[in-house]
Structure 1
Amino acid sequence: MKRRTLFRGAAIGAAAIPAAAFGYSALAEPTATAANYEVSITEQRTNRLLNFKRGSAWTDANITWSWSPGGGGWSNLSDVKYRNTASFGWIALATASGGKVGIVNMTSEKHQELNDLLWSATPGGNPHAIERIPDIGAIVTASSAGFLTVYGPTAVSKPSTLAKVQTVTLAGAHGVLWDPTRKLLWAIGDKVLRAYQVTGSYRNTRLKATSKKVTLKGLGHDLQPDYSDKGKLLITDTYGAYEVNASTLAKKTVREGRLIKSYVRDSAGEGMWLQAKNNEPRPWSSDTVRWDSGSKVRSGGHIYKARIVTTSFN
């Protein structure tokens, strides 16, 4: 495995590498209305995070960025989010059903590997999602065995100091998302979407359940922003995809169907989703990402989730 100590040292001790170094300019942000934004997929057959421009052929030659952590605890990558930090610039938050979660230090290299991690942990219970709380640098993960895990650092600029500070019970926990407008952390689990207040900071960071919750018919699965409307969240459960008004908690069906593993809207309001094909050996995956206006196939791919490549929350 290639070493990247040059980039690691530069990121820790110097100014952050700008987002443009990755080729992620304005097209990466949800406010861009261009149709050719980048899409990130968790591809489990080769176990890589793969980024492509929407309009390109999704072949190896057109990969704009990738991360390959190997197998073991990093097998079956299940979630990715991109966030911008003062100390490191762009980071990728990664989760694997094999057991691991972590923070990837995105350098100027197109293809990155396990040794680009700034931090990793093993929360247990089949990790499905991860989120970072801005300003305090805390991390929250969701494990489908039924709990959220909170990690707090001693300093926001030192992710290596993250340590477990709290475990919160949430049956079937599958998704977590920070809401910067309402200053809440949303989490989705079995038959419920619930909002948590984040209290304290650093090692004193704690989650406190609020009264805001939405009852679902099935097992809650994905949780994403609506990039066309800051007032809405987008979720999926056993039976379909829905929009939720984050203030009134009103829920509306936007797509019916089983096995919708991820759903999001871009800034123009077009839906993008991944619906599993129920084929072995990974019945929860598909080789196809769909939009309201078409689809894109990653030949041979076992894709679990699809994300818009952006560091914005909504």
Structure 2
Amino acid sequence: MTRFLNKILTGAACFMTAFMSPAFSQSVPKKSFLVCGDSKVLVVDYANSKDSIPEIIWSWDAHQAMDLPEHFRSKLFNTMDDCKAVRGGKQLLVSSSSGAIALLDVKDRKVLFHASVPNAHSIELLPGDLVAAAASVQPAGNKLMLFSLKQPDKPLYTDSLYSAHGVVWNEKRKSVFALGYDVLREYKIVSGNSLKMIAKWTIPGIGGHELQPANASGDLFVTEHHGTWLFSLATQQFTKIKGFPDAENVKSLGRDASGQYIYTIPEESWWTFHVKFHEPARSFAFPDMHVYKARWFGNGL
């Protein structure tokens, strides 16, 4: 445990020097990945990690973020469940099922935006400084929410979506995709501050969980309770992911330009202590962290 914590502190301190450079985004090793769980988000250098020990080069802990309001810091960011690098890796989006979302500046770790989102399970940056969030099962949740970075904690738009778990922006189609319990939906931005659903598809299973871009064409990875799927935008069909070891309750799934998969599967309840890779296979241990999701930094595509 001590060795792991020391690696976080030492690695983060060393990497902070690189972040202070104007060329910070170029300083992040190309094959790096994000890990989120508990109140933390980590950046790990894949190539320089040894065996199963991750080389942690940056970290952020909501409990230590003094620029967050106290109830966000101590209560609403206790269960980090999504993290995405945006704007060339200069900023990070994070969400917590304890009830909040935020946008972070990576260089100085400042919180640029935060908002309450009941049982938040995913977050996405949209054009026009808009932020979409998936609010999952909770009396005040079960909906897709839209915010402006200029108006923290004030939703511009909501749409009912039971067990909302995923949200992704597709630049080519100029569309927002959102995943619920048994449905995948497509939305368009209208009037600059609202969304309109234009299509929906029943997913091949129940308990929709992960939604991530699968390739440069914008096809989507979708996971549900019993399996993992590829949704083709061209054919509008779901097919099993070729070459990926199908499993139940996959919490996160991504693939980089080289074809290597990154994924997480619960070991206890909803969390895991390992981040796994496939083609080629590898596994990193995080023994002191309840890991929920892991993503290639910048999506890897």
TM-score bracket for this pair, using the shorter chain length: 0.7 to 0.9
Deviation at 1:42, TM superposition (A): 0.6
What are the within-5 Å matches in structure 2 for residues 153-302 of structure 1?
A: 153=149, 159=150, 163-201=154-192, 205-227=193-215, 229-254=216-241, 255-277=245-267, 279=268, 283-292=269-278, 293-300=280-287, 301-302=289-290
Select which of 119, 131, 149 maps to 1:139: 131
In structure 2, relative to structure 1, the CA distance for the partners of 1:118 and 1:99 (3 Å cut) is same
2:198 and 2:173 map into 1 onto residues whose CA distance is: 12
List gaps (5 residues or longer) in structure 1.
1-15, 28-36, 154-158
Deviation at 1:20, TM superposition (A): 3.3
State TM-score, norm by structure 1.
0.77
Deviation at 1:189, TM superposition (A): 0.7
Do 1:84 and 1:311's aligned partners in 2 also have CA atoms closer than 8 Å?
no
Alpha-carbon displacement from aligned partner over 1:245-295 (angstroms, at most 9, x marks no partner): 123211111242212101111112222211111x2xxx1111112222222
Deviation at 1:66, TM superposition (A): 1.1
In structure 2, relative to structure 1, the CA distance for the partners of 1:137 and 1:273 (3 Å cut) is same
Counterpart residue identity of residue 158, structure 2? T
Counterpart residue identity of residue 123, structure 1? V
Deviation at 1:209, TM superposition (A): 0.6
Do 1:196 and 1:208's aligned partners in 2 also have CA atoms closer than 8 Å?
yes
Residue 41 of structure 1 corresponds to 35
Alpha-carbon displacement from aligned partner over 1:209-266 (angstroms, at most 9, x marks no partner): 1124243311110111114x42411111111111111232111112422121011111
2:286 and 2:174 map into 1 onto residues whose CA distance is: 40
Select which of 59, 62, 65 maps to 1:69: 62
Residue 97 of structure 1 corresponds to 97
Alpha-carbon displacement from aligned partner over 1:97-139 (angstroms, at most 9, x marks no partner): 11111111121x5xx4xxx211111022x110101102x0101
Do 1:143 and 1:173's aligned partners in 2 also have CA atoms closer than 8 Å?
yes
Deviation at 1:296, TM superposition (A): 2.1
3-state secondary structure, aligned to 1:247:
coil
Alpha-carbon displacement from aligned partner over 1:158-201 (angstroms, at most 9, x marks no partner): x4667311111111100100000111000111111111111122
Deviation at 1:23, TM superposition (A): 5.7
Aligned residue-pair number: 262
RMSD across aligned positions (CA)? 2.4
In structure 2, relative to structure 1, the CA distance for the partners of 1:160 and 1:119 (3 Å cut) is farther
Identity of paired residues, percent?
A: 24
3-state secondary structure, aligned to 2:76:
helix
Deviation at 1:22, TM superposition (A): 5.3
1:221 and 1:104 map into 2 onto residues whose CA distance is: 24
1:184 and 1:97 map into 2 onto residues whose CA distance is: 25
List gaps (5 residues or longer) in structure 2.
1-18, 64-73
